[in-house]
């Protein structure tokens, strides 16, 4: 039996960039809405195909066009953040530019959703190109680039002796006020407390961002709010715990409606919050 993502509404794409070739699937609902397109970024399990299946019903419900890039292991050893060894941001930009030729909705801004390593890439992409991003949805990032200078890059926007930290800090500098003005929705499972091998652990990271993904999400939200206020910006960031969810995106979607939460429009989310 053919898998659902080979249906007529899911199309395959492959886009070359100076940083490498990136494959992606685009879900096009039968009736499209005026809502921005959504880009869904997988984590280190690289489960792009699974995310296509999980998001397809929500694309149909919301009318959103959804693109799911696939950073395959053979081409992308690293993809969670732009660095000297990998520039996933350039690949994502090339993908959006290519898709914008096919459908102007991808000219942006587009909403972003990322889980785990995908959340890392999502917020780092938004920090560099906040003008390309609508709403930023982050689920269960292992750690964050804090929007202040409390830690040197890549943990924050501070500098150390390295030229790379200085380079990236400078590049982020002008984009920061726009980034801090984005609507950011942070999600983390209430059971996502494991300190396993997939969680980066260093003494400084544990001390400054927290021991697990819940604490680190809380730190990020708090630092984001403080940074926004320092820039005279009213922060629009929320932290939503996902009851009973561990570090498993399929579980979060099946049992905590995560895909629905990130595809809902802001007014729908506001109504949901009022109802609760």
Partner 1 sequence: MPHNQISALATAKWTFSTRRVDRSHIAGMDTDFAAARAGDLILAQVESIGQHNRVQLVSGRPSNIFPGDIIVLACGARYAPDQFEGWAEIDPSGCDLLAGGGCMGRMVSRNERIKPATRLLPMGRLLDGAGRPMNLDSYTLPPTMRGGEIPVIFVLGTAMNSGKTTATAQLALGLRRAGYNVAALKGTGTGAFGDYNEYSDTGAHWVADFTDAGMVTTYREPMDRVKSGLELLLGHAEEQGCQIVVMEIADGLFQRETGALVADPWLRGRMSGMVFACGDAVAAAGGVAELARHGIRPDALTGILSCSPMAAAEAVAATGVPVLRKNDLADPAEANAFALRAFSNARAAA
Cα 66 from Cα 28, distance rounded (Å)? 7
The separation between CA 174 and the C-alpha centre of its own chain, rounded to angstroms, equals 21
Give min distance, CB of 83 to partner 1, in A. 11
Q: Quick one: tokens of 131? A: 């003008």
Give min distance, CB of 16 to partner 1, in A. 12
Give min distance, CB of 93 to partner 1, in A. 5
Cα 128 from Cα 145, distance rounded (Å)? 11
Give min distance, CB of 74 to partner 1, in A. 24
Q: Which is nearer to partner 1, 129 or 143 (CB)?
A: 129
Q: Which is nearer to partner 1, 67 or 96 (CB)?
A: 96
Q: Quick one: tokens of 24? A: 């992606």
> Per-residue x/- mask for partner 1, residues 108 to 137, rule CB under 8 A?
x-------------------xx-xx-----
Quick one: CA dihedral 56, 60, 62, 63, positive or negative? Answer: positive
Q: Which is nearer to partner 1, 41 or 176 (CB)?
A: 176
Give min distance, CB of 128 to partner 1, in A. 5
> Per-residue x/- mask for partner 1, residues 180 to 219, rule CB under 8 A?
----------------------------------------
Residue 130, C-beta contacts closer than 8 angstroms, at least 6 positions apart: 175, 178, 179, 181, 182
> Per-residue x/- mask for partner 1, residues 135 to 174, rule CB under 8 A?
-----------------------------------xx-xx
Give min distance, CB of 129 to partner 1, in A. 6
The separation between CA 10 and the C-alpha centre of its own chain, rounded to angstroms, equals 21
Query: β-strand 236-242 against 20-27: which pairing, if any?
Result: unpaired
The correct pick among 1, 2, 8, 18 for binding partner 1 (CB under 8 A) is 18
Instruction: State which of positions 59-98 bind partner 1 (CB under 8 A).
Output: 82, 89-90, 93-94, 96-97
Give min distance, CB of 165 to partner 1, in A. 14
Cα 179 from Cα 163, distance rounded (Å)? 23
Q: Quick one: tokens of 123? A: 């917020």
The number of beta carbons lying within 10 Å of the beta carbon of residue 160 is 11
| Nearest to 225, CA basis, from 209, 239, 237 | 237
The number of beta carbons lying within 10 Å of the beta carbon of residue 53 is 17
Give the interface with partner 1 as residue ranges (CB under 8 A). 18, 82, 89-90, 93-94, 96-97, 100, 107-108, 128-129, 131-132, 170-171, 173-175, 178
């Amino acid at each position: 039996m053919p898998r659902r993502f080979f249906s007529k509404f899911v199309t395959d794409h492959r886009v070359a960039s100076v940083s490498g070739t990136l494959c992606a699937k685009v879900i096009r609902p039968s009736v499209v809405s005026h809502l921005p397109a959504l880009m869904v970024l997988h984590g280190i399990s690289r489960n792009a195909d699974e995310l296509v299946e999980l998001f397809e019903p929500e694309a149909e419900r919301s009318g959103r066009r959804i693109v799911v890039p696939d950073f395959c292991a053979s081409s992308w050893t690293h993809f969670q953040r732009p660095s000297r060894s990998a520039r996933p941001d350039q690949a994502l930009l090339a993908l959006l530019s290519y898709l914008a030729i096919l459908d102007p909705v991808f000219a942006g801004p587009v909403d972003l959703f990322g889980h785990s390593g995908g959340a890392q890439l999502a917020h780092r992409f938004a920090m560099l190109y906040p003008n390309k991003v609508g709403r930023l949805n982050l689920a269960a990032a292992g750690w964050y680039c804090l929007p202040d200078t409390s830690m040197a890059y890549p943990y924050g926007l501070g500098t150390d002796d390295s030229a790379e930290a200085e380079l990236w800090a400078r590049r982020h500098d002008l984009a920061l006020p726009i980034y801090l003005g984005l609507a950011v929705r942070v999600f983390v499972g209430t059971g996502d407390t494991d300190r396993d091998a997939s969680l980066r652990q260093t003494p400084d990271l544990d001390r400054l961002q927290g021991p697990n993904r819940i604490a680190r999400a809380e730190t990020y939200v708090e630092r984001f709010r403080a940074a926004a206020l320092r820039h005279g910006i009213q922060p629009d960031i929320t932290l939503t715990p996902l009851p009973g969810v561990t570090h498993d995106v399929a579980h979060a979607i099946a049992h905590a409606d995560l895909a629905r939460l990130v595809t809902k429009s802001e007014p729908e989310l506001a109504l949901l919050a009022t109802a609760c």
